[in-house]
């Protein structure tokens, strides 16, 4: 920012532009997310608790604010404002919608508003793909059978990021309470390739018992999987939706999260377990601990990764999108967005 233009310009970046930057670049996005986790683990971020706006007349819906600040080479502040309205699906539109506001780190002025449902899905999938790779590496062998419980946008993105970072499978399983959604996702997997035989399961138990890598990407608000015996073959579990597993299942596993303080709240499965026990000793560490070798994961127990989803990840991916669009010369700046710039008129 030059001294002659102390107020930075304000830009708007559409979903189409976000998609053009991120599509097909899964490895690059995973690297961005890994670096953000490392910056966070080193204490060079500010990531306050998320704020939930809920509605008495729409108990299943909410809008969440994720404020954050990240240092290092990213050096940007901002806020993700993301809504979850499950009833949208019946109307034929996506459940989630979001925007990301980026603020200049020097002046605090907003510098961009980005469509963020794609950024949010990408950073979620990149986080899970990163965890899958590092946790499997620690156990000595990559899973060969994958199963998806929940078959919406996040499941599709997560599969895309697994495939885009080199994962292939001998068999793939699908389970969803909606038979139509399960069939649609199975068709997507078959067309994607690298999935082996695709099976639509009639129960979560059948899918879990038949999978070495289990992905939970549901909208469940309370635990619906209660029996630790379903996990007796010691799978790697990506518990992206956070509220599917009972405390009994949690306690029978090795538990890794992205941030302990953030994940143990809002009635997540880890939070319910803490409430039952009165302590957090069952949490074995964070993904940063795994990345730095502080925590090693066993092969003789189920391993569950429960990522709450940090605002700093959205900032890192969003800043990458902003920088890329700016470099192409396609940045749409809103002239005169900031109008009252003289202190005394």
pLDDT attached to residue 2: 41
**Domain for residue 4, yes or no?**
no
Q: Determine the pLDDT at residue 5.
A: 55
Is there a single domain that holds both residue 170 and residue 291?
yes
Nearest to 313 by CA among 42, 45, 22, 103: 45
The first and second tokens of residue 45, run together, are: 């971020």
* Residues 313 and 274: beta-carbon distance below 8 Å: no
The β-bridge partners of 77 are: 69, 103
Does 345 reside within a domain? no
Q: Kindly state whether residues 150 and 174 are assigned to the same domain.
A: yes
pLDDT for residue 250 is more than 90:
yes
pLDDT of 172 over the 80 cut: yes
The helix (run of H) or strand (run of E) holding residue 213 is: strand 213-216
pLDDT value, residue 6:
82
Tell me what pLDDT residue 3 has. 44
Q: Is residue 181 part of a domain?
A: yes
> How far, in whole angstroms, is CA 184 from its chain's centroid?
22
Reported as a single tens digit per residue, the pLDDT across 121-135 is: 999 999 999 999 999
Collapse the DSSP code of 166 into the 3-class scheme (helix H, G, I; strand E, B; otherwise coil) and give the result: coil
The rounded distance, in Å, linking the Cα atoms of 312 and 317 is: 9
Q: Are residues 185 and 262 in the same domain?
A: yes
pLDDT in tens, 87-141: 998 898 988 999 999 999 999 999 999 999 999 999 999 999 999 999 999 998 8
Of the candidates 331, 333, 335, the one whose C-alpha atom is nearest the C-alpha of residue 21 is: 331
Instruction: Say yes or no: 115 and 137 in one domain.
Output: no
Cβ-contact 311, 66 below 8 angstroms? yes
Average pLDDT, the chain: 95
Distance CA 173, CA 185 (A): 10
Cα–Cα distance, 331 to 13 (Å, whole number) = 7
180 with 324, same domain? no
First to last CA, the chain: 24
Give the pLDDT band of residue 189 (cuts 50, 70, 90).
very high
Using the predicted structure, report yes or no on whether residue 332 has a pLDDT greater than 70: yes
On whether both 89 and 131 belong to a single domain, the answer is no
Per-residue pLDDT tens over the stretch 281-318? 999 999 999 999 999 999 999 999 999 989 999 999 99
Strand-strand pairing, 236-239 and 303-306? parallel
pTM more than 0.85: yes
Residue 271 to residue 119: CA distance in whole angstroms: 26
Three-state DSSP class for 83?
strand
Three-state secondary-structure class, residue 122: helix
- 304 and 237 Cβ atoms separated by less than 8 Å: yes
Q: What is the CATH number of the domain that holds 131?
A: 3.40.50.720
If we measure between CA atoms, which residue out of 269, 243, 267, 291 comes closest to residue 127?
291
Instruction: For residues 55 and 165, state if they share a domain.
Output: no
Which residue range(s) make up the domain with 220? 122-306
- DSSP, collapsed to helix, strand or coil, labels residue 201 as coil
**Residue 107 — φ and ψ, nearest 5°?**
-105, -20
Q: Rounded to 5, what percent of the chain is helix, strand, coil?
A: 40, 25, 40
Q: Are 113 and 136 found together in one domain?
A: no
Residue 340 — very low, low, confident or very high, per pLDDT cuts 50/70/90? confident
Taking alpha carbons only, the member of 330, 313, 310 closest to residue 322 is: 330
Tell me if 339 is assigned to some domain.
no
DSSP-assigned letter for residue 50: P
Amino acid 339: pLDDT: 87
Structure-token pair, residue 147: 């199963």
Tokens 């994940």 found at:
263
| CATH code of residue 62 | 3.30.1780.10
Q: Token pair 């605002």 is at which residue?
A: 311
Alpha helices per DSSP H over 140-240 = 153-164, 179-192, 204-209
The count of domains in the chain is: 2
Residue 234 host element (H or E):
none
What's the pLDDT score for residue 341? 83
């Amino acid at each position: 920012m030059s001294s002659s233009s102390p107020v930075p310009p304000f830009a708007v970046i559409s979903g189409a532009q976000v998609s053009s930057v991120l599509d097909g670049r899964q490895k690059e996005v995973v690297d961005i997310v890994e670096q953000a986790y490392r910056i966070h683990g080193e204490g060079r971020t500010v990531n306050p608790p998320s704020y939930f706006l809920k509605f008495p007349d729409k108990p299943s819906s909410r809008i969440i604010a994720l404020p954050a600040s990240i240092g290092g080479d990213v050096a940007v502040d901002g806020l993700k404002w993301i809504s979850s309205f499950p009833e949208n699906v019946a109307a034929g539109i996506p459940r989630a919608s979001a925007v990301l506001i980026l603020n200049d780190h020097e002046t605090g002025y907003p510098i961009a508003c980005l469509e963020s449902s794609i950024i949010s899905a990408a950073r979620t999938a990149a986080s899970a793909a990163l965890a899958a790779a590092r946790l499997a590496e620690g156990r000595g062998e990559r899973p060969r059978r994958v199963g998806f419980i929940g078959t919406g946008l996040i499941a599709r993105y997560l599969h895309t990021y697994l495939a885009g970072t080199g994962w292939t499978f001998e068999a793939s399983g699908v389970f969803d309470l909606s038979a139509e959604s399960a069939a649609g996702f199975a068709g997507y997997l078959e067309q994607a390739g690298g999935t082996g035989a695709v099976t639509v399961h009639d129960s979560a138990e059948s899918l879990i018992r038949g999978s070495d890598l289990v992905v939970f990407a549901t909208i469940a608000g309370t635990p619906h999987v209660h029996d630790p015996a379903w996990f007796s073959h010691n799978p790697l579990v990506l518990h992206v939706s956070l509220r599917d597993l009972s405390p009994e299942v949690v306690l029978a596993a090795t538990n890794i999260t992205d941030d302990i303080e953030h994940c143990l709240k809002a009635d997540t499965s880890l939070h319910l377990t803490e409430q039952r026990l009165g302590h957090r000793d069952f949490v074995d560490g964070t993904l940063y601990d795994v990345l730095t070798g502080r925590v090693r994961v066993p092969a003789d127990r189920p391993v569950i990764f429960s990522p709450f989803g940090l605002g700093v990840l959205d900032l890192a991916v969003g800043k990458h999108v902003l920088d890329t669009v700016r470099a192409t010369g396609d940045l749409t700046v809103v002239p005169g967005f900031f109008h009252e710039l003289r202190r005394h008129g």
